[in-house]
Structure 1
Amino acid sequence: MTTVLQPPLPSHPVLRLRLAPHGNLPRAIDGAWWPRSYDLPAELPGLLAGLPRKWGHITSATVNGATWSTMPGQILVANQVVRLRRTQGESTPHTIVLLSPGRGRWDLLVVPPDTTEQAAEPLMAAATGGHV
């Protein structure tokens, strides 16, 4: 009998996130995030784990209600409660707003999950001013 060893699959998929460099002027968009689905309770823990520590504890995430699937009002991420909010406005269908008390607000462009890599790259680069 021959045993074929398969390489282990990564336990966590690679986070597809790019952040704009921090500057003195406020930005309309602070970076870009390319989730794998519109299931926010499943996707948000990975996003929050990949954010810079200086952003502090994110207590609230707001997304467009027409774009994202049904979600609870809050979830527990790393033993911290994060409120999930939905907007009904058409003005920001592809963003997520993250709030951290005393630290700030960050708006990320959300690249739709079904976007091809070829199409996602320029979107993420534009949101970050070309920075990786």
Structure 2
Amino acid sequence: MTTAVQPPLPSEPALRLRLAPHSDLPRALDGAWWPRSYDLVAELPHLLAGLPHAWGHITSVTVSGATWSAVPDRMLVSHQVVRLRRTPAASTPRTVVLVAPGRGRWDLLVVPPDTTDEAAEPLMSAAAGRLTG
């Protein structure tokens, strides 16, 4: 078992995150996240810091094993332990699953970091339940 400690966050560019409007109806995706790299240890703290407070404290994150570079078993984010899991490489789409006990589960599409602005926009809009036209 390995543990990663969150490095200090330098001044970072804006979080590229688009969330679907709140709904009591289940949906396949709750939004989209467009990280800047495949380094989950570097990217995850920025994502978690940008989530709505109503989502509560995320304690578990599951990512597609094929998408990310090395992932530790857990990491410290804002003085809280977050457990990290990887799904088998080819069995799941590019998503990140966030779980907050007693609050819920959220599935976000992960837009590959090297995606162009033009290609990312429709993916992010569709995952957030908004159509572009």
TM-score (normalised: structure 2): 0.88
* Match of residue 104 from structure 1: 104
How far is 1:24 from its partner? Answer: 2.1
How far is 1:90 from its partner? Answer: 2.9
Cα deviation digits, residues 81-110 of structure 1 (max 9, x gap): 001100005342310000000000000000
Tell me whether 1:32 sits opposite 2:42 in the alignment: no
3-state DSSP class of the match of 1:97?
Answer: strand
Whole-angstrom CA distance in 2 between matches of 1:69 and 1:53: 28
3-state DSSP class of the match of 2:129?
Answer: coil
3-state DSSP class of the match of 2:97?
Answer: strand
- The residue type equivalent to 2:15 in the other structure is L
* Match of residue 115 from structure 1: 115
Give me the identity figure in percent: 75
* Match of residue 16 from structure 1: 16
3-state DSSP class of the match of 2:86?
Answer: strand
3-state DSSP class of the match of 1:45?
Answer: helix
* Match of residue 59 from structure 1: 59
- The residue type equivalent to 1:95 in the other structure is T
TM-score (normalised: structure 1): 0.88
- The residue type equivalent to 1:50 in the other structure is G
Pick the structure with greater CA Rg.
1
Whole-angstrom CA distance in 1 between matches of 2:66 and 2:94: 10
Aligned residues: 123
Whole-angstrom CA distance in 2 between matches of 1:108 and 1:95: 5
Cα deviation digits, residues 49-107 of structure 1 (max 9, x gap): 00000000000110011211012111100000001100005342310000000000000
Q: Contact 1:67 / 1:93 at 8 angstroms: preserved in 2?
A: no
Tell me whether 1:129 sits opposite 2:129 in the alignment: yes
* Match of residue 5 from structure 1: none
4+ runs deviating over 3 angstroms: none
How far is 1:23 from its partner? Answer: 1.1
